[in-house]
Amino acid sequence: MNDSSAHAPASLRIAPANLANDRDAAAVLSLLRSFAQEPVSGGHDLPIDVQARLIEGLRSHPVSRNWIAWDDSTSPSTAVGCAICQIGFSTFIARPTLNLHDLFVLPSHRDRGVGGLLMETLHRAAGEMGCGKVTLEVNHANEAGQRFYRRLGYSDGQATERGDGVWFWSKPI
């Protein structure tokens, strides 16, 4: 366990998201809708047509790997965070990569080690898949996210050529 998850409650469980399961699918959709409504994500709910396609799109995407953080202190367990990832391939290291596309923790569960446990889980999975690194994008305005990723060993990238306000960061595995 690293510093970012050392204070995670024992009732916290990270599990692969089974998007064929209605409960997991509803949890991921709800979490991603909450994420979209955060100021650093634009502050607006996902459009209805995106909501309608999202879970099936993730479920059928052959390189999608996703996890849900569950708080088992409630009955039933409550989904409190998620990590949405895709497998890629780096030609420069000739190995697979795991790209973290979305990491979200409900505001009620932030600073409790949830994000750290999600990251530990995906780092472990990346190693098991033979990935050479984990990559992610972080919004320029997301200073808390930048601090979090730096603590985990991610290094700064640069804005994309489109100037879309995100940095591409990576961490060797």
Residue 103: inside a domain, yes or no?
A: yes
Residue whose pair of structure tokens reads 């052959």 in the numeric block: 62
CATH of the domain at 115: 3.40.630.30
- Mean of pLDDT values over 60-76: 96
Domain count for the chain, please give it: 1
* Cβ pair 64, 58 in contact under 8 A: yes
Report if residue 5 sits inside a domain.
no
Query: Residue 27, class by beta-carbon neighbours within 10 Å (0-12 exposed, 13-18 middle, 19+ buried)?
Result: buried
pLDDT digits (tens, 9 = 90+) for 98-130: 999 999 999 999 999 999 999 999 999 999 999
Cβ neighbours of 49 (radius 10 Å): 8
Report, as an integer, the average pLDDT of 142-161.
78
Residue 142 inside a domain? The answer is yes
| Mean pLDDT of the chain, nearest integer | 89
Q: Give the position of tokens 């000739």.
A: 94
DSSP 12-31: EEEEE--TTSHHHHHHHHHH
Is residue 1 domain-resident? no
Residue entry with tokens 């024992």? 10
Amino acid, single-letter form, for residue 153? G
Give the closest residue to 122 by CA, choosing from 144, 149, 140, 143: 149
Give the CA angle between residues 142, 148, 150 to the nearest 5°: 100
**Short-list 99, 95, 33, CA closest to 66:** 99
In a domain, 7, yes or no: no
Q: Is the pLDDT of residue 9 over 90?
A: no
User: What does pTM read for this prediction?
Assistant: 0.87
Residue type for position 52 = A
In a domain? residue 93 = yes
Q: Is residue 3 part of a domain?
A: no
